[in-house]
């Protein structure tokens, strides 16, 4: 087998494996190296997203939501459930199966696209632009030569100072996705995306969940109106969310005790069976041996790149969580495709203004573009139109009428500047807004499009009509 490649990708998360496939589609000889292993030591490509992120978290969110519906929503439909119980072991088994299907799917895609996969750690071993040497340390020890290298080594969870994760009592995302039985009391530090998604899973299964957030505002980067609605709903669901706290000493013995100061400055103690620490993630470059070849990192440890994902080294690129920008799987994928295309002499492009965000709680929260508070800060004149799911026929039939769609459009041109949704299937509905914004649509464009009836997407059309004060169903 040739050990010389046009492109060697280090990391097979969403950034890396997609970059490898696109580069192969463009006719290049491509290798992809990834060190993630199953408990049996087999390759598990897909990175954080597939193994301990997007995919397993959504599997558990679905299982716990089904349980919650069976317990709380079915009766209204005349469906009686007797002896409802949750088998956590089976729920985790299903989650593991979903993960494995995705691992296997990526290995299949590599084969189909003639990407040569190496299971092990990839590290710079020398070379220069056009002929980089990459050492693979796994079951075999290969040295690959690469014209181009794409670094896609991802991120790892940030720990609190002096409180290492043990994944028994102090859990990172890996531990949070593998809790073997519903804890009676669960603590979460950080009311961000992981904290809210994982907190929701275990709350639905019966845990008493307390979330401690350092910032005074809840979901500070989300549109304020959406964040306010979310806080109201999550609190009603039983998540005890405390913002503006200062976490102090944490003691982990049989259980975990967290000493903290609340927003009023009063000393408090929280005792829980398990504590999830979800206070953000840090770029992962450990073991890459970037130092040896002079790879430049920025002050926060991200691989420094320009707008095209070029590093300071000739023909070395970096994408995904290991570089600046949102830590999202689809952002990593877009960068991976764009870099492969640039290497092939095409014009890969990633539009950061239209990267959607989704929080997969119930209700889901999704947005794209700027928030109302950002537009105010920037002094942009805008018009806002909202439509509640309460007035949407499909939402009523679903029995899920929480939330609303809000569209923000430029006051002069009507161009859509931001769309914010809290409600059922927000993760799917936001796609229409992304397409509209990518095509530079005005709110009137959405208002003039025929939307199927009855469908949740009619709330998008109605919100667009509301920008011009002419909703039809409210």
Binding site for ligand NAI (CB under 6 A): 160, 189-195, 197, 212-215, 247, 278-281, 326-328, 358-360
Least distance to ligand NAI, CB of residue 215, Å: 4
Look at residue 436 and give the partner it binds from ligand NAI, ligand FAD, none, a contact being a CB closer than 5 to 8 Å depending on partner kind. Answer: none
Least distance to ligand FAD, CB of residue 347, Å: 22
Least distance to ligand NAI, CB of residue 173, Å: 7
Q: Is the Cβ of residue 20 or residue 464 nearer to ligand FAD in the bound state?
A: 20
Q: Work out which of 8, 31, 32, 57 binds ligand FAD, going by CB under 6 A.
A: 57
Look at residue 359 and give the partner it binds from ligand NAI, ligand FAD, none, a contact being a CB closer than 5 to 8 Å depending on partner kind. Answer: ligand NAI
Q: Is the Cβ of residue 14 or residue 192 nearer to ligand NAI in the bound state?
A: 192
Q: Work out which of 53, 363, 369, 424 binds ligand FAD, going by CB under 6 A.
A: 53
Give Cα separations from 197 to 167, 223, 459, 466 (angstroms): 18, 18, 25, 31
Q: Work out which of 20, 21, 24, 33 binds ligand FAD, going by CB under 6 A.
A: 33
Least distance to ligand NAI, CB of residue 58, Å: 8
Asked if 350 interacts with ligand FAD (CB under 6 A), we say no
Look at residue 311 and give the partner it binds from ligand NAI, ligand FAD, none, a contact being a CB closer than 5 to 8 Å depending on partner kind. Answer: none
Look at residue 121 and give the partner it binds from ligand FAD, ligand NAI, none, a contact being a CB closer than 5 to 8 Å depending on partner kind. Answer: ligand FAD
Asked if 200 interacts with ligand FAD (CB under 6 A), we say no
Can you name the residues that pair with 64 across neighbouring β-strands? Answer: none
Q: Is the Cβ of residue 116 or residue 233 nearer to ligand NAI in the bound state?
A: 233
Q: Work out which of 5, 36, 67, 165 binds ligand FAD, going by CB under 6 A.
A: 36
Catalytic residue among 72, 286, 349, 453, which? 453
Q: Are 429 and 396 in contact (CB under 8 A)?
A: no
Site string for ligand FAD, 129-148 (x = CB under 6 A): --------------------
- 453 annotated active-site: yes
Q: Work out which of 43, 154, 195, 325 binds ligand FAD, going by CB under 6 A.
A: 154
Question: Residues in the site for ligand FAD, rule: CB under 6 A?
Answer: 10-16, 33-36, 47-49, 53-54, 57, 121-123, 152-155, 173, 194, 284, 287-288, 320-322, 327-330, 332, 360
């Amino acid at each position: 087998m040739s050990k010389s490649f046009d492109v060697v990708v280090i990391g097979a998360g969403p950034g890396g494996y997609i970059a490898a496939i696109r580069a192969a589609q463009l006719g290049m000889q491509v290798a992809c190296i990834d060190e993630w292993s199953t408990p049996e030591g087999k390759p598990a490509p897909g990175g954080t997203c597939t193994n301990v992120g997007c995919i397993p978290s959504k599997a558990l969110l679905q299982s716990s939501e089904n349980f919650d519906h069976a317990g709380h929503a079915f009766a209204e439909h005349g469906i009686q459930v007797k002896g409802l119980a949750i088998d956590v072991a089976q729920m985790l088994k299903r989650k593991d199966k979903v993960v494995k299907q995705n691992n296997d799917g990526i290995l299949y895609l590599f084969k189909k696209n003639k990407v040569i996969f190496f299971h092990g750690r990839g590290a710079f071993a020398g070379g220069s632009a056009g002929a980089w040497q990459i050492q693979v340390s796994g079951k075999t020890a290969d040295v690959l030569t690469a014209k181009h290298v794409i670094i896609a080594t991802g991120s790892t969870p940030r720990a609190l100072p002096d409180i290492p994760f043990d994944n028994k009592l102090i859990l990172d995302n890996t531990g949070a996705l593998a809790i073997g039985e519903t804890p009676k009391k669960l603590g979460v530090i950080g009311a961000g995306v992981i904290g809210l998604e994982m907190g929701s899973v275990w709350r639905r299964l019966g845990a008493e969940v307390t979330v401690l957030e350092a910032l005074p505002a809840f979901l500070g980067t989300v549109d304020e109106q959406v964040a306010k609605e979310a806080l109201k709903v999550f609190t009603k669901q039983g998540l005890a969310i405390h913002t503006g706290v200062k976490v102090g000493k944490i003691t982990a013995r049989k259980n975990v005790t967290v000493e903290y100061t609340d927003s009023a400055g009063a000393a408090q103690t929280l005792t829980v069976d398990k504590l999830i620490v979800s206070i953000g993630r840090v770029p992962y470059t450990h073991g890459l041996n970037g130092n040896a070849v002079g790879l430049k990192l920025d002050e926060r440890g991200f691989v420094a790149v320009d707008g095209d994902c070029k590093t300071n080294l000739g023909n070395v690129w970096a994408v995904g969580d290991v570089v600046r920008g949102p830590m999202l799987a689809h952002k990593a994928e877009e960068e991976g495709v764009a870099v492969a295309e640039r290497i092939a002499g095409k014009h890969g492009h990633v539009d950061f203004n239209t990267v959607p965000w989704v929080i997969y709680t119930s209700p889901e929260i999704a947005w794209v573009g700027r928030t109302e508070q950002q537009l105010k800060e920037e002094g942009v004149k805008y018009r806002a139109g909202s439509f509640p799911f309460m007035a949407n026929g499909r939402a009523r039939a679903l029995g899920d009428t929480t939330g609303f769609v809000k569209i923000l459009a430029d006051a002069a041109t009507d161009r859509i500047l931001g769309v914010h949704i809290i409600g059922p299937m927000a993760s799917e509905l936001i796609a229409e807004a992304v397409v509209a914004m990518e095509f530079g649509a005005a709110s009137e464009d959405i208002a003039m499009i025929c939307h199927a009836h009855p469908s949740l997407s009619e709330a998008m059309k109605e919100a667009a009509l509301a920008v011009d004060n002419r909703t039809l169903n409210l």
